[in-house]
Structure 1
Amino acid sequence: MPLDTLTTYSQTLLRQDGRRWNELRRITASISTQPSSDGSSLLTMGNTMVLCTVTGPREGRGQRDNNNAIIETEINIAPFAQMDRRRRNRNDKRTQELQTTISNAFQSHLFTHLYPRSTISITLHVLSLDGALLVACLNAASLALVDAGVPMPSILAAISSGSITPTDDSSAKPEPILDLNNAEEQELPFLSIATVSGQQGMEDRVSVLMMETRCQIGGANSKMESMLATGVDGCQQVRRKMEDVIRKHGAKIMQTRK
Structure 2
Amino acid sequence: MPLDTSAYGLALLRVDGRRWNELRQMRAQMRTQASADGSSYLEMGNTKVMCVVAGPTEDGKLQQQRRAGGGGSGGGGAAPGSGGNAEVIVSIVVAGFSSVDRKKRTRNDKRILELQTTVCRGLAANLHTHLFPRSTIGVSLYVLAQDGSLLAALFNAATLALVDAGVPMADYLVACTAGSAPSLPPAARGGAAAAAADDAADPLIDLNAQEETELPWLTLATLGATDRVVALVCETRVPDARRLEAMMAAAADGCARVRAKLDRAVRRRGRRVLAGEGLGGAADVPATGGGDSDEDVGMDLDSDSDADAPQEEALKVLDRLEKETEGGKGKGKRKN
TM-score by length of 2: 0.70
Partner of 1:74: 91
Aligned to 2:313: none
Percent identity between matched residues is: 47
Match of 1:225 in 2: 245
1:88 corresponds to = 105
Partner of 1:6: none
Structure 1 residue 64, shift from structure 2 partner: 7.1
Q: How far does residue 212 in structure 1 lie from its aligned partner after superposition? A: 2.3
Distance 2:183 2:106 in 1: 38
Q: Is the 8 A contact 1:50 1:124 kept in 2?
A: yes
Give 3-state SS (helix, strand or coil) of 1:44's partner.
strand
| Distance (Å, rounded) in 1 between the aligned partners of 2:263 and 2:10 | 37
Rounded to whole Å, the distance in 1 between the matches of 2:94 and 2:132 is: 30
Question: What secondary structure does 1:74 align onto?
Answer: strand
Paired position in structure 2 for 1:148: 165
Match of 1:207 in 2: 230
- SS, match of residue 17 in structure 1: coil
What SS does structure 1 have at the residue aligned with 2:97? Answer: helix
Q: Secondary structure in 2 aligned to 1:243?
A: helix
Contact 2:86 2:130 in 1 (8 A): yes
Higher helix share: 2
Q: 1:64 to 1:30 in 2, by over 3 A?
A: closer
Q: Report the 3-state secondary structure (helix = DSSP H, G, I; strand = E; otherwise coil) of the residue aligned with 1:256.
A: coil
In the other structure, the counterpart of 2:301 is none
For residue 134 of structure 1, what is the amino acid of its counterpart?
A: L
Aligned equivalents of 2:265 and 2:10: distance in 1? 37
Which deviates more from structure 2 when the two are superposed, residues 244-253 or residues 208-217? Answer: 208-217
Alignment of 1:2-41 (within 5 A): 12-41=11-40
Q: Do 2:26 and 2:43's aligned partners in 1 also have CA atoms closer than 8 Å?
A: yes
Runs (4+) of structure 1 exceeding 2 A deviation are 61-66
- Which residue number corresponds to residue 243 of structure 1? 263
Task: Name the SS for the 1:130 alignment partner.
Answer: coil
Structure 2 matches for 1:146-225, cutoff 5 A? 146-167=163-184, 168=189, 169-171=193-195, 172=197, 173-197=200-224, 203-218=226-241, 222-225=242-245
Once structures 1 and 2 are overlaid, which stretch shifts more, 162-171 or 26-35? Answer: 162-171
Q: Is the 8 A contact 1:110 1:150 kept in 2?
A: yes
Counterpart secondary structure, 1:98: helix
Secondary structure of the 1:176 match is: strand
Task: Give the CA RMSD over aligned residues.
Answer: 1.8
Tell me how far 1:175 sits from its aligned partner. 1.2
Structure 1, residues 175-204: CA drift from partner, whole Å, max 9, x if none? 100000000000000000011136xxxx43
2: CA distance, partners of 1:212 / 1:184: 14
Tell me, in whole angstroms, the C-alpha distance in 2 between the residues paired with 1:209 and 1:64: 22
Separation in structure 1 between the aligned mates of residue 21 and residue 81 of structure 2, nearest angstrom: 45
Q: Quick one: distance in 2 between partners of 1:66 and 1:244?
A: 35
Provide the rounded CA distance (Å) in 2 between the counterparts of 1:181 and 1:10: 21
> Highest Rg: 1 or 2?
2
Cα deviation code 1:109-131 (max 9, x no counterpart): 10000001111010000001001
Number of equivalenced pairs: 243
Change (3 A) 1:180 1:196: same
Cα separation, partners in 2 of 1:112 and 1:101, compared to 1, 3 Å: same
Task: Determine helix, strand or coil for the equivalent of 1:102.
Answer: helix
Alignment-derived partner of residue 49 in structure 1: 48
* C-alpha separation in 2, matches of 1:150 and 1:211: 29
Q: C-alpha distance in 1, partners of 2:182/2:113?
A: 32
Contact 1:40 1:144 in 2 (8 A): yes
The gaps in structure 1 that reach 5 residues or longer are 1-8
205-214 vs 25-34, greater mean Cα deviation: 205-214
Deviation at 1:214, TM superposition (A): 1.4
Map Cα deviations across residues 9-57 of structure 1 (whole Å, 9 max, x no partner): 9962000000000000001101001011100000000000000000000
